[in-house]
Amino acid sequence: MKRLLAANPDTLQLVDPGFSTALIGWQKKHGRHALPWQKTRDAYRIWLSEIMLQQTQVAAVVPYYQRFLLRFPDVASLAAAPVEDVMAHWSGLGYYTRARNLHRCAQIVAAQYAGRFPDDPDLLAELPGIGRSTAAAIAAFAYGKRAAILDGNVKRVFARVFGIDGYPGEKAVENQLWLRAAALLPAREIESYTQGLMDLGATVCTRSKPSCGTCPFAQRCVALRDDRVSELPLRKQKKAIPERQTAMLLLIDEQQVLLEQRPPHGIWGGLLSLPELALPEAGNPAEFEAQLAQAATPFGVVSGYDKLPAFSHTFTHFKLHIAPYRVELSRRHAIAGQLQHQWLRADCVADAPLPAPVKKLLLAVFAGQGSKTAKLL
């Protein structure tokens, strides 16, 4: 790394020892020191926390992290577990591709690295779900390696302190940020420096309402000097979010509900969810009832249905409008040997690998007194 910095004039001119010195000093005095994944060199625990923290706030991660470790205390136990078990313990945390990659990564580390995560950031970055920045964080915290991170918080800090224009998601801008991230690395105390970048972006240099008065770089921050704190980093131009609609069927037999396994890829991949139908056209309930009866035929005889309050769920790239229908069966058919569908008891819903909005819906339905269903026409 030292030879690379010396040979690259673009990087060399960005070297700024005062930045890392100030940040390390601030982190030791004002940074976070009581997070459950701190004060450890266990690469497994550090890796798990870094994956969970991708696109998720610390407050939401902490209880999931603690429960996950109780069930999967090490990489061997995670690698040996059924993926359904992993998904169940991840349920509600969102971005479920992370959970599938987590499981695959554990299996690779167990099989190819004898259960020990490699200390080389380049090798770490080749593992499923671990990008360049996450690999650097793991290498720094677990092994003391001098490697640069560049997550969303760090991009925001750099953009404001150094007055960097351009949307950080653009390749040219991101490349310049990586050069700066490498040039600013301290020779020592990489752990405090790396944690300091995370802490500063998460607690002081926040996206909205930053606490500039408590920032260690207030006297040199270009964005603060030029009154551009709310402007930097530049945001991606917003596009209209596509919207989709679906009907979800709650086929209920006494205190059990029918669930189906979603495909391994796509939204809620690998989780259990409710069967879906295309929404009925306005003014044509008979057609919808025919579709509903046809969809339910393999599982039982429909005696009636009730439309529940609709709700919406926003994903990264689109918004899904969901119209749930509670369907009562007068007689249930056996589904022995059916791998895609299964009946789940009401008392098992809370711990099942379900998407958060589906779990919330089912808990509310089973907790209620139950409403009368409309007889089929």
Residues catalogued as catalytic? 50
Q: Which amino acid is at 9?
A: P
Q: What torsion, rounded to 10 degrees, do the Cα atoms 204, 205, 211, 212 define? A: 130
φ, ψ (nearest 5 deg) of residue 255: -110, 40
Q: Which amino acid is at 67?
A: R
Query: What is the distance between the alpha carbons of residues 128 and 114, in angstroms, rounded to a whole number?
Result: 17
Name the residue among 192, 127, 118, 198 with its Cα closest to residue 157: 198
* The pair of three-digit structure tokens given for residue 71, joined into one six-digit string: 């069930």
In angstroms, what CA-CA distances link 164 with 16, 17, 167, 171, 235? 16, 19, 9, 14, 12
Contact status, residue 165 vs residue 115, Cβ threshold 8 Å = no
